[in-house]
Copies of this chain bind each other. A is one copy, B any other.
Amino acid sequence: MSDDLKIPLLDELEKGPWPSFVKDLKTLAPKKPMVRDLLRQLEKSYQDKRGYWKHGGLVGVLGYGGGVIGRYSALPDEFPGVSHFHTIRVHQPSGWFYTSEALNELMDIWDAHGSGLLNMHGSTGDLVFLGTVTDELEPTFRDLTARDWDLGGSGSDLRTPSCCVGPARCENACYDTLELVDNLAHRFQDELHRPMFNYKFKIKAAGCPNDCVAAIARSDFGIIGIWKDNIQVDQAAVAEYVDSGFNVKEFVVDNCPTGCMSLEGKELKIDDSNCVKCMHCINLMSKALSVGKERGAALVMGAKAPIVEGALLGSVIIPFMEIEEPFEEMHDLLERIFEFWDEYGKARERIGECIERIGLASFLEQIELEPLPQMVTQPRDNPYIFYEEYYEEE
């Protein structure tokens, strides 16, 4: 069987020191005709410099509108193994933590029902099972749920939220990213599985402004940890950094964006009223500096890739919010946002585009938030003001 797997171009990708997906896939090819034909079709793509997939179709599991991406080969006769090659998005656990036991169980399920190929993980965060046929969708789902796994999002629904490792393994975490994301995923199950939004809605939670999960760039609703009070400084540890020969002045102080730090001898002074919580100093001096004690998160909304109106970064809608169980304030806020979107959004318009179209100030009004200078880089510079209050003749 495998000796007729002639993929000379792909073979080139077995070379070199970086892990080779071709090598890995080839190990599975003898057992899995799907994998074999995937490699063969891919080889053809490499030859012809084009993909050979048809535009996805609507497939799924009963009662869910999301979680499965239909995929069919454009050349089913040539590559029957991939005539159906659907994707199942499995909702990963917060922080992408697993035990070997859990992984082995998952692999057993996927071995039984699919190609045995997968992405760990997809860009949104899901555990992506790549390649199965329509008939196997429901059985796979059954086995997954039996083991406490559920599907993630796809289509115009709440997408699988994801978060950074946060308090599980990071001293910078300003709130519990893992618990929040787990909570939101469970609180909004309906929105996750049954597309009823105008378009996709992504949530990402980062524990601090380092934003290790790209919340400000890749989520419609981003929660980014932050603190309000002063950076905690252990001056003895600062002195150790200085003594160790680490150039605190050049590397730390001089790189502070607001210039609010100074090194006096071996003592580090911070004018916290001017600190913009950029994290740089804390990053470089993990042992001496840590985030403040009054912790919470900034909420940013509207990030997305370019299609349609151009890429957007998230923009601040709440500069600081306490993030505490049972996260009711967050639930309420999200509900107000979904309501707003339902009323004002257009089909296939991301919420960031909708906010830009409606205007941030109107959006804030609709979801009942106060305008604050922290939400803008600068006040308007054009005089086109929609005055709403005026005097009337008595």
Give the residue name and chain of the B residue nearest to A306 (CB): B382
Interface residues of A in 63-89 (CB under 8 A from B): none
Distance of A310 Cα from B384 Cα, bound (Å): 9
Q: Which residues between 364 and 390 of chain A lie within 8 Å of chain B, taking CB atoms?
A: 381-384
Q: Which residues of B sit under 8 angstroms from A381, Cβ to Cβ?
A: 311
**Copies in the assembly, this chain:** 2
The one of B311, B382, B383 that contacts A382, using a Cβ cutoff of 8 Å: B311
Contact with B along A298-328 (1 / 0, CB 8 A): 0000000010001100000000000000000
A148 to chain B, nearest CB (A): 41
Complex: A384 Cα to B306 Cα, angstroms: 9
**In whole angstroms, how far apart are the Cα atoms of A25 and B30 in the complex?**
101
Query: Which chain B residue shows the least CB distance to A305?
Result: B383
Give the residues in chain B near A306, CB-CB below 8 Å. 382-384
Interface residues of A in 32-90 (CB under 8 A from B): none
- Write out the residue numbers on chain B whose beta carbons fall within 8 Å of the beta carbon of A310: 382, 384
Give the residues in chain B near A382, CB-CB below 8 Å: 306, 310-311
Give chain B nearest CB distance to A261 CB in angstroms.
15
Give bound CA distance, A311 to B383, whole Å.
9
Q: How far is the CA of A381 from the CA of B312 in the complex (A)?
A: 11
One digit per residue, 1 when the CB lies within 8 angstroms of any chain B CB and 0 when it does not, for chain A 217-253 equals 0000000000000000000000000000000000000
The complex places the Cα of A152 from the Cα of B393 at a distance, in Å, of 43
* CB<8 Å pairs between A and B, sample of 7: A306-B382, A306-B383, A306-B384, A310-B382, A310-B384, A311-B381, A311-B382
